[in-house]
Every structure is written in C-alpha cells, then in structure tokens.
Amino acid sequence: MEPDPLFFFPAFLLGAVIGSFLNVVILRLPEPETSIAFPPSHCPHCQTPLRWFENIPILSYLVLRGKCGHCQATISPQYPVVELLTALLAVAVLAAFGISVTAVGMFVLCAALVTIIWIDIHHQIIPDVISLPGILLGFLFSFVSTFVSWQDSLIGLLAGGGFFYLISLSYYLIRKQEGLGGGDIKLLALLGAFLGWQSLLFIIFISSLSGSIVGLIAMRSQKKGGSTRIPYGPFLALSGMVYLFFRPQINELFQLYLHLLS
C-alpha cells in the first residue's frame, strides 16, 4: 500500500503532461465552435504552431521566459501553474492512496476540479459536460473506492445537489434573483458523489467562509458594492481538495470541537 518514492517522479511527469492537456480543455471547452484536438497547440497571439520543444510542460515556459518564441507575446502564467498544480496533485493522490484504483479515481476528480476552477474564473460557468458525467462517474467509482462507500456516495450526491437547490430556491424567492448558479449545485453533487455526504458540511462551511473573505476584499478594492460577482465554484473545488487530503485531521478537529462543546 505504501508507495515507493521512486514512483513519485513518473507520477509528477504524467501529472504535468495531463495538466498540459487540461490547459487546452480550459481554453477550448467554453468555445462551442472549437475542437479539443485540432488545431494543434499554437501561440494564441501569432497563431504559430508550437514546435515540440516549445510544448514541454512547465519547462518550456521557463526556458522561453514566459514569451512566445516567434512574436515575443507574453504567455499566461496560467499554463505552467495548471501543469505544476496537476503534477503535484498526481504525486499527492499517490502519496495518500498508494498505487490503487482509489488513487486513479481521485486523480480524475482532481483533474476535473482544476479544469472547473479555471473555466469558472474566466467564464463564470461550470460546464455540464464535466459535472454531469462526473456525478455519475463519482457514484460508479464509489463501488471500487476505499475512500467512500456507495451508500455514502449516493446520499452525498443527493444531499449535495438537494441542499444547494433549496438554498438557491429560497434565495430566488426572497431576493427575486439568482444567487447560486445551477453549476454550483451540480459541482456540490459531484463532490458529494466522490467524497461522500460527510464531506459536505466541511465543504459548504469552508467554501462560504473563504468565499466571503475574498468577496469582501474584492468589494473593497473594486468599490462596486454588493454587485461584485466572484465565481463560487473555485472555493467549492478547493475545499473539496482540502477534504480529500486532510479528512483524518478535519475529523480530529471536529471531534475536538464537539468535545469542547460538551
């Protein structure tokens, strides 16, 4: 079960390559007319196709010092950040779950969350093509996962979707405007399916707390008052990742909290 540290390096490389693919998904998925596979990677500024050595995850960005080799246009640091993040997540699931089906499934979840975070930041949407198959996959995965039982997964996806639907509905009835997007509801159902219903309280608490703090800071700096919109999806996704890797510590803190109350 304990993974040999020798496996961390290949896991990092594989994660970086998959991160490079996620960059393409993040860029092209929200554009309905474009394909994920064609055309091959090119500079978004001068359209020059990338040569193989300009397309190496993380390294190419560093070697080219963040500029296109042809037109010198600045390359967004988002590319190496996504590659590095995905590589680290691959190492993290391996360290947490060993070489196992659970590690593979949780890496799929992490890759979906990374993609959702950036698409939500850029477009304020969470694509159904990721969240809906993800909910089903999370439930099917629970039958082979050592992290969650299928019962906990099923309750998780129903409670995750249902809880947010009720919040959203009551907000709509009171304020006559949409507070939570339908995308956030499906994302919480996705997290509930993969992580179990026990994760939902933590995810809702931490994401709304951190989201409120960031929202207040954004409101003060933009001076637009209550109309500032920041996407909530990234906070949900990040809280889910924290739960995935720190569940024992979170449970311990929760026990401590209950103990202090009694």
| Residues contributing to the site for Zn ion (CB under 5 A) | 43, 45-46, 68, 70-71, 73
Structure-derived torsion over alpha carbons of residues 126, 130, 132, 136, reported in degrees to the nearest 10: -140
> With 0-12 CB in 10 A as exposed, 13-18 as middle and 19+ as buried, what is 241?
buried
Q: How far is the CB of 68 from Zn ion (least distance, A)?
A: 3
Q: How far is CA 9 from CA 4, 63, 87, 190, 249, in A?
A: 10, 21, 9, 29, 27
CA distance 134 to 130: 6
Q: How far is the CB of 45 from Zn ion (least distance, A)?
A: 4
Task: Return the number of the residue (68 or 188) whose C-beta is nearest Zn ion.
Answer: 68
Q: How far is the CB of 42 from Zn ion (least distance, A)?
A: 8
Q: How far is the CB of 102 from Zn ion (least distance, A)?
A: 42
CA distance 130 to 124: 14
Q: How far is the CB of 65 from Zn ion (least distance, A)?
A: 14
Task: Return the number of the residue (68 or 203) whose C-beta is nearest Zn ion.
Answer: 68
> What end-to-end distance do the CA atoms of the chain give, in Å?
38
| Helices within 29-77 (DSSP H only) | 59-63
